Structure 1
Amino acid sequence: MENDLTILCTTAMGLESVATQELRQLGYTDMTTENGRIVLRGTATDVARLNLWMRTADRIKIVVGRFKAETFDELFEGTKALPWEAYLPFDAAFPVQGKSVRSVLTSVPDCQSIVKKAIVDRMSAKQIQFMSFDESGDTFPIEINVTKDWAEITLDTSGTGLHKRGYRLDQGEAPLKETLAAALVLLTNWKPHMPFIDPMCGSGTLAIEAAMIGLRLAPGFNRSFISERWPLIPTDVWEKAREEAEDLADYDTRLSIFASDIDHRMIETSQENALEAGLMSDIEFKQMQLADLTLPDENGVLVSNPPYGERMGDEKGTKAIAEQVGQLIQTRPDWSYYLITADKQFEKNAGQKATKKRKLFNGYLETQYYQFWASKHH
């Protein structure tokens, strides 16, 4: 069992390749990338490490089993055949969530209750003495996912989604999820020795995620995970994983990260969040407008999520931002510029053609990540 868990890293659509790259850097080689998910084999130690280290994944799940299920009988028997006693203690609380996609079994509530009943049946049969399932113990969130008549049952080891790093006390109107912000930074050519600027920083997420990447800080270091209380992943496994994270952190790297915003309240929010993340001395914050931005002299990277649409209140503002960015690109071609926006006219208004575009979802909003590479791209 120890060496044989099937682990699932779920991601937002469009971030699969970034997450796969992250896994490679963490030393994983054998994995399968599918839509919104990456599957790999591993141990309890890997579950702990991935929860602590994955910047762009939403959750880390364990696949308990996968089987064909076109009838409720098949779902019941397939679930009951799985070794639940290896995963759940007898007092486990195990809420079952579900979803069904293009399958004969369309009723999600029925799927959920059948899975629940099958687990109880299996556990009862495995018990030596009778115990009532009062579910008074720790929580093991279970999900039944039926896709094209294949049932997959997973255990969610993260609990709260991994984007909740624990530093964001407050946020602006249209915050970037921390996982997406980390992906935006990882998709650039930024290295910790280069200047990094976000001139429309909102609640500071991009700058904070960049600082965490630059200092090699595990994004999950300051939070807890639901599986920390599971017998399946012993306490010493978590302790070792946290020690490893502490050892790998590189607090001595000098970063040059600058974040500004037109709204002084957002700067206060950013500073509070940076303070909570322990990164106040690694990021310089300043209230200023984009038009007043001057870039320092060496090749750097500008990454931003400019306000647009309703948050902007008008199209004129959106257009002005694109024009100002266009001017920067023209006057300072030695810098690289990366902007995520739903503004379809961005390139036109900036008067610049992006080197590369990438479709990404910010929540449910479809956006483009425009990438303008430096003329001397390194």
Structure 2
Amino acid sequence: MNEVTLVATAAMGLESIVAGEVKQLGYEVEVENGKVIFNAPLSAIPRCNLWLRTADRLKIVVGKFPAKSFDELFESVKALPWEKYIDEDGQFPVTGKSVKSKLYSVPDCQRITKKAIAERLMLKYGMASNMPETGSLYKVEVALLKDEAVLTIDTSGAGLHKRGYRAGQGEAPLKETLAAALVLLTNWRPDDPLLDPFCGSGTIPIEAALIGQNIAPGFNREFVSEDWEFIKDKYWERAFEEAEDKADYDQKLEIYGSDIDHNAVQIANKNATEAGLGDLISWKQLQVKDLRIHKENGYLIGNPPYGERIGDKNKVAGIYEELGSIMKNHPSWSVYILTAFEKFESKYGKQATKKRKLFNGFIQTNYYQYFGKKSFS
């Protein structure tokens, strides 16, 4: 087996960003709702797990087929070449989901899939009794949509947003994958100043620093597929070597994070240190009204409070007004704000150049984008 079909799952609204990342790694893609599909050599599994900043997970597609009955599901699952992936002592728990399909009982689909895989592997490995399942972990998913089943194996383990640097978090932490997307959706370059005045636990500045120095986001964590025999150790070794070679630790950065909450700033500082970026980001406890900007041609990227709780809307509206009042005096700066606050533009005092619908968890938000007029003085 030299090539596999892979799927990088993505949060709604981020599919094109994930697709762009996969293309940058050298693979041709197809984009569907919530996922990016591509064929690639086995070496792509370590590379994509290490480098994808905005994808949720990376999975191998083992097979796809119509399934309108449990017998059809069983026989089709059993016909797939599971022995190419799962060792004779491998653990293979099965999760499932079903949408608009005749086979709507997910527990039954999981049970039948598990039994079919076990029978296939017992036959191929010459076993008379149940498989021991004491070895490496292979998390299988059976997903049915409109009577079509897709069988996948997760290669990531913990979600790709788990970078390994979060020593602590604030009240409503921004997911690392979304934070990276917010940066990638701008045209910020490492030579430009970058500021997050609502930094919370520091996710946006930290992700920006990783991007700025071209550090692979998965460099300091482990992946479940590192233990798989069919992915040769040399592929993982080469992927880590590539990540080390491409990192630009000498790139100077001017990144600032501030927040009204002193504890949040302390957590942000700890997280940056854990990520190995302690000296690259400047942190400060600061209210928005006290924000002072002394540089030209910078980028402000923020995920401010949304004012969702009763009594908070007026306070949040005031923060947006203060921010708009300050930034109108800095036309060379580009401003990017993620919020669910419906009247953001009127409070900020200016209509966005562009806005994009994104989901922060289950909250529908808009990403308001104001492009700065570059100063060349």
TM-score calculated relative to the size of structure 2: 0.97
Deviations 1:272-293 (A, max 9, x none): 0000000011101111111111
Aligned partners of 2:69, 2:49: CA distance in 1, in Å?
Answer: 35
1:17 offset after TM fit, Å?
Answer: 0.8
2:83 maps to what in 1? 85
1:325 offset after TM fit, Å?
Answer: 1.9
1:50 pairs with 45, 48, 51, which one?
48
1:307 aligns with 2:313: no
Which SS does the other structure have where 1:331 is aligned? coil
CA contact (8 A) 1:173 1:311 kept: no
Aligned partners of 1:245, 1:22: CA distance in 2, in Å?
Answer: 15
CA contact (8 A) 2:307 2:315 kept: no
Identical counterparts, % of pairs:
55
Matching of residues 56-135 of structure 1 within 5 Å: 56-128=54-126, 130=128, 132-135=130-133
1:150 maps to what in 2? 148
Is the alpha carbon distance of 1:51 and 1:377 closer, same or farther for their aligned partners in structure 2, counting shifts above 3 Å?
farther
For 1:164, give the aligned amino acid: K
For 1:20, give the aligned amino acid: A
1:328 offset after TM fit, Å?
Answer: 2.6
Moved more, 112-121 or 123-132: 123-132
1:342 pairs with 340, 343, 348, which one?
340
CA contact (8 A) 1:202 1:267 kept: yes
1:235 offset after TM fit, Å?
Answer: 1.8
Which SS does the other structure have where 2:58 is aligned? strand
Which SS does the other structure have where 1:295 is aligned? coil
Question: Cα RMSD between the aligned structures?
Answer: 1.4
1:313 offset after TM fit, Å?
Answer: 5.4
Aligned partners of 2:238, 2:187: CA distance in 1, in Å?
Answer: 32
1:199 pairs with 173, 197, 200, which one?
197
1:8 aligns with 2:7: yes
CA contact (8 A) 1:189 1:301 kept: no
TM-score calculated relative to the size of structure 1: 0.97
1:372 offset after TM fit, Å?
Answer: 0.7
Runs of 4+ in 1 over 3 A off after TM superposition: 128-132, 310-313
Aligned partners of 1:320, 1:159: CA distance in 2, in Å?
Answer: 42
1:250 pairs with 243, 248, 268, which one?
248
Which SS does the other structure have where 2:56 is aligned? strand
Aligned partners of 1:171, 1:129: CA distance in 2, in Å?
Answer: 48
1:131 offset after TM fit, Å?
Answer: 5.4
1:20 maps to what in 2? 19
For 1:147, give the aligned amino acid: L
Where does structure 1 lack aligned partners over 5 or more consecutive residues? Answer: none
Deviations 1:314-354 (A, max 9, x none): 11211011101211331111100000001001001111000
1:233 offset after TM fit, Å?
Answer: 1.2
Aligned partners of 1:101, 1:118: CA distance in 2, in Å?
Answer: 21
Where does structure 2 lack aligned partners over 5 or more consecutive residues? Answer: none
Deviations 1:123-175 (A, max 9, x none): 12112354541211111000000111110000000010000000011111111
Is the alpha carbon distance of 1:367 and 1:67 closer, same or farther for their aligned partners in structure 2, counting shifts above 3 Å?
same
Which SS does the other structure have where 1:18 is aligned? helix
Aligned partners of 1:329, 1:33: CA distance in 2, in Å?
Answer: 37
1:271 offset after TM fit, Å?
Answer: 0.4
Aligned partners of 1:25, 1:59: CA distance in 2, in Å?
Answer: 17
For 1:7, give the aligned amino acid: L
1:375 maps to what in 2? 373
For 2:6, give the aligned amino acid: I
Aligned partners of 2:262, 2:189: CA distance in 1, in Å?
Answer: 29
Matching of residues 233-312 of structure 1 within 5 Å: 233-310=231-308
Which SS does the other structure have where 1:354 is aligned? coil
For 1:228, give the aligned amino acid: E
Aligned partners of 2:310, 2:83: CA distance in 1, in Å?
Answer: 54
Is the alpha carbon distance of 1:191 and 1:311 closer, same or farther for their aligned partners in structure 2, counting shifts above 3 Å?
farther
CA contact (8 A) 1:96 1:115 kept: yes
